Amino acid sequence: MARTSRSNDWGFPRWRGYGSSREATQVRLCDRHGCDRPGDCPAPKSPNSPERWWFCAEHAGEYNRGWNYFEGLTAEEAAAREAADRRTADGYANARHYEWAGPGDGTRSRDEMRALGVLGLEPDAGFDQVRAAWRLLAKAHHPDVAGDDPQAAERFRQVQAAYDVLRTAEEARAT
């Protein structure tokens, strides 16, 4: 007569994986009302809260479409939070080609998109178009041409800074 109290965890090889048990596996369900799929995608309940919702992939995408990370912040507070987030990610500078590009064709950073906006160009503008727009705007707003107009001088500085950002990015892509 064989003993029936023996488990599968004896001897070699183990007949069951390490850390596994005979009990049913606990599965977290999606927090969306009425959904019975597994909820394996965490989503924050509020911007500064450690609490999370757990959604399935479909409902996580639906939730994130309406999520605004900078909601309720002034422009200065949003810039400070973005700078703090970038500061803590300095270790990932070597993987810069993986960074999020924001709107556009997916190859430009947020700073490049702002620079294109200053020059009045579309997100898919080539560097030849950037150079042409920069020359046109620089000639129009140059302090020697505009005279003592302080707004023209400020606009010239903005145009020059935008061109510098785009030129640096283009040089980085070329190397």
Q: Given this model, what pLDDT does residue 104 score?
A: 47
More confident site: 142 or 12: 142
In the 3-class helix/strand/coil scheme, how is the chain assigned residue by residue?
CCCCCCCCCCCCCCCCCCCCCCCCCCCCECCCCCCCCECCEEEECCCCCCCEEEECHHHHHHHHHCCCCCCCCCHHHHHHHHHHHHHHCHHHHHHHHHCCCCCCCCCCCHHHHHHHHHHCCCCCCCHHHHHHHHHHHHHHHCHHHHCCCHHHHHHHHHHHHHHHHHHHHHHHHHC
Query: Does the predicted TM-score (pTM) go above 0.85?
Result: no
Q: Which domains are present in the chain?
A: 101-174 (1.10.287.110)
- pLDDT category, 60, cuts 50, 70, 90? confident
pLDDT per residue as tens digits for the range 78-104: 888 878 777 765 555 555 555 554 444
- pLDDT category, 57, cuts 50, 70, 90? confident
pLDDT per residue as tens digits for the range 108-154: 778 888 899 999 998 888 899 999 999 999 999 988 887 788 888 89
Cα separation of 110 and 101, whole Å? 6
